[in-house]
Structure 1
C-alpha cells in the first residue's frame, strides 16, 4: 500500500508545486526570491495532500483541486514568514528564515505578497463555478484567515500567563493550526459541489487532524534534535509557549520543579543546559499524556472519514494515512 500512496502523494505534490511556481512570480526578483524561499526548502505539503485527497474522495476535478491546494499552501507559507518574524526564529526547514536572509521589511512584503497570491490562485481555482459554490469557498477561506489570526494572537498572549488551561490550549491550536487543515478538507468538498453533510464531515476531519498535528509538533519541540526539527530546538520553551506539555507539567510537577520551569520558560537568555533541564522535567510529566491526546484526535479524524461515501479508495487510504502519520512523524 505504501508504494501506491507514495506514488499518489508524489503526483499531488509535483502538480501543486507547479501551480505555486506558476503563480508566485514577480518582476521584482528579490521579492520573488524571498516569497519562494520557504517553498524551495521543501516541506511536507500536508494541507495540499488533504485538499486534493478530499476532492478525489468524492470523485472531484483534479486540475481545480491542484489550484485550490496551491492557494492553501501559499496562504500557509505566508503565515510561516510572519510567524518567524514574530517569534524571532532564525531557522525554518533547515534554512535561514526569510527575515534573517532578506531583512524584516522585505520579509513582511514577501508575506503580504503571498497573502495576495493565495487569493489570486483561489480565484483561479473557482473559475467557472456557480455563484453559490464560489461564495461558500471564498467565505471558508476568508474565515480561516480570521480564525488563524485569532489563534496566533492567543498563542502570543499565553506567553505572558502561567495559568493557561488545557481547554484554552485546545481552542488556541484549533484556531492557529487546525483551522487551515479544516479549510483544506472542506475546500476539497466545496469545489466539487458536495452536499452539506459531506462538507461538514470533511471540515471536522481536517480540524481533528490539525489538532493532532499541532500536539505532535509541540512534542517534537522537546524531543527532536535541531537537524530533525529544521528549526531551533527548545525554541518553544525559550519563547514561553504554553503547550499541552507545559500546561500538564505545571499542573502536576513538584513546587521545586515548577520554580525551575518558570525561571526558564520565556527567558530569551536561557542557557542550553537550563533549557535541557526544563525539557527533561516536561518529558517526564507529560510526554505520554500528550501522545495519547494526539492519538485521540487522530482517531476522531478517521471516524469523521468513515461517515463519507467513498468514490476513490486510494484517496480514502491517503486520508486515513495522513491522520495516522500525524502521530508517527519525527519532524
Structure 2
C-alpha cells in the first residue's frame, strides 16, 4: 500500500508535467502528440528517475521535469518505431500513424523530440554550468544511441546470422540507453558524485537489457489483450530477438527451415509454427539471461545507500521488469 501511494504520486505529478508541455493551438498535431502518452504506459523510466532522486534526497520538482523529458522522448521513439515496423496497435489502441496518417505521425514525433529537450532544459535550469552541460550531453547522446540501435535492429531483419553479442549490443543501444539516461538524470539533479553517476548508468543499462529480453519473451507468451499489440509481431517483422537467435543456433535442419519460413512471413500458420518451435528451444534460456542482467542491476543498486522508501521502490521496480505480464 505504501509503495502504491508512492508510485501513484510520482505518476500523477509526472503526467501533469507532460500535459503542461505537450499542449498547443494546432489541435490535430497536439492530439496526435499526446495520444500515446494519454493511453497509459507503465511510466517505468520516470518511476526509476524520481525514485533515484528520492534515494539521494534530490529536488522532486527537478526530478518530475526530467522524468517528463524522458517519457516524452520515449514516446517520440514509439511513434516513429510503429511507422517503421508498420505496427497497427500500441497499448491496445490504433497506433498514431494508423489514426492520423504517416505525415502527421512523423510530425508528432518530431514535436515530442523538441518538447523533451524543452522539459529537460527546465529541469536543469539554475544548476551549475557543468551539470547543465552533462545533462544535455547525456540526453543528446541517448537520442543518437537509440537511433543507432534502431538501425541495427532493422539491419538484423535482413540477415540470417546475427550473434547473441550483436543482439545484446543492439538492445543496449535501442532500449537500455534510455533507462541508463533516466537513472543518470535522477542522480544528476540530486548532486550524485561521479562514481554514483557511473553506478546509476550501469544500473540503467542492466535493467534495460533485462527489460527488453522480457519484452521479447512476452511477445511470444502473452495474449494479445495483455500485450496491447499483436502476438508474434516480432516474428512477422523478422526480428532477430534473443529467442530467435538461440533457437536457430540449437534447431535441427527441419526446425530451422520452419523458423526461417515464419520469420518475416505474412502467413499466420507459418508464423505460429515458427513461434512454437522458438518457444520450445529458447524460453528457459531467455529467462536465465534476463535474470543474469537483473542480478547485475541489483549489484549496482546495492552500492548506493539512501532513503528507505526510495530503496524499497527501486527494488520493487527492478523485480517488476522481469515479473511483469505485459
User: After superposition, where does 1:112-261 map in structure 2 within 5 Å?
Assistant: 112-261=110-259
1:280 aligned counterpart, secondary structure: helix
C-alpha distance in 2 between matches for 1:136 and 1:285: 44
After superposition, the CA RMSD in angstroms is: 0.7
Consecutive unaligned residues in structure 1, runs of 5 or more: none
Question: What is the match of residue 305 of structure 2?
Answer: 309
C-alpha distance in 1 between matches for 2:51 and 2:285: 30
- Whether 2:317 is the aligned partner of 1:319: answer no
Q: With structure 2 as the length reference, what TM-score do the two structures score?
A: 0.99
Aligned 8 A contact 2:262 2:272 in 1: no
Q: Give the C-alpha shift of residue 320 in structure 1.
A: 1.3
C-alpha distance in 2 between matches for 1:322 and 1:244: 23
C-alpha distance in 2 between matches for 1:176 and 1:319: 22
C-alpha distance in 2 between matches for 1:247 and 1:322: 28
Size of the aligned set, in residue pairs, is: 326
Aligned 8 A contact 2:210 2:321 in 1: yes
C-alpha distance in 1 between matches for 2:308 and 2:271: 46
Aligned 8 A contact 2:139 2:181 in 1: yes
Question: What is the match of residue 276 of structure 2?
Answer: 280
Q: Give the C-alpha shift of residue 309 in structure 1.
A: 2.5
Question: What is the match of residue 66 of structure 1?
Answer: 64
C-alpha distance in 2 between matches for 1:245 and 1:7: 37
* Aligned equivalent of 1:88, options 80, 86, 89: 86
C-alpha distance in 2 between matches for 1:128 and 1:327: 37
Consecutive unaligned residues in structure 2, runs of 5 or more: none
Q: With structure 1 as the length reference, what TM-score do the two structures score?
A: 0.98
Question: What is the match of residue 11 of structure 1?
Answer: 9
C-alpha distance in 1 between matches for 2:2 and 2:279: 36
C-alpha distance in 2 between matches for 1:275 and 1:194: 48
**Per-residue deviation, residues 68-94 of structure 1 (Å, max 9, x unmatched):** 000000000000000000000000000
2:41 aligned counterpart, secondary structure: coil
Q: Give the C-alpha shift of residue 32 in structure 1.
A: 0.6
- Whether 2:41 is the aligned partner of 1:46: answer no
C-alpha distance in 2 between matches for 1:153 and 1:247: 18
**Per-residue deviation, residues 23-70 of structure 1 (Å, max 9, x unmatched):** 101210000100010011100000000100111110000011000000
Q: Give the C-alpha shift of residue 273 in structure 1.
A: 2.2
Q: Give the C-alpha shift of residue 174 in structure 1.
A: 0.2
- Runs of 4 or more off by more than 2 Å in structure 1? none
